[in-house]
Amino acid sequence: MGDQSKSGYWMLIGTDDRLKRNDSTIIFDIDRSKFLSGFVIQRGGDLYAYVNHCPHNGSRLDWVPGDLFDETGKYLICATHGAIFEPETGKCVGGPCINQTLIQMNVKRDQQNIYVEVLPSLLL
Ligand code: FES
């Protein structure tokens, strides 16, 4: 577990070297007892983190862990019904949950380490 704070805690989920390729991701457990996971991606040097939970029916996006991008590498895709999401915003731009968004998480890089903020609201 990471540092405790008023709003949540920062959890170490991996290191920079796992995000070398443009479509690479880091998948991490938020609460294993609830089958709740998240993922971090890197685009243009910036990090983005989301809860691995499709707004359509709550499925995790990936069937194969970490396989989150469509064949173009441009969009995140939900494996269940094919909704596609902008990686930088989490907004659904095609599919059954159009205009809804993935739940974004705060993410930070400290030297080589990557942390996400786990808010209490995620664990309810
Ligand atoms: S569960 Fe993701 S598109 Fe239906």
Q: What are the domain boundaries of the chain?
A: 9-123
Ligand 1 pocket test: pick from 81, 84, 101, 103 the residue with the most ligand atoms within 8 Å of its Cβ. 81
Encoding tokens for residue 95? Answer: 């599919």
Segment 45-94, tens digit of pLDDT: 899 999 999 999 999 999 888 889 999 999 999 999 999 999 999 999 99
Task: Give pLDDT tens digits for 8-37.
Answer: 899 999 998 888 776 689 999 999 998 999
Contact assessment for residue 39 and residue 26, using Cβ atoms and an 8 Å cutoff: yes
Whether residue 106 contacts residue 115, with contact meaning beta carbons closer than 8 Å, is answered with no
CATH 2.102.10.10 fits 9-123, yes or no: yes
Query: What φ, ψ does residue 75 adopt, rounded to 5°?
Result: -125, 150
49 and 104 Cβ atoms separated by less than 8 Å = yes
Give the global pTM.
Answer: 0.91
How far is ligand 1, taken at its centre, from the CA of residue 45, in Å? 28
Nearest alpha carbon to residue 28 among 59, 63, 65? 65
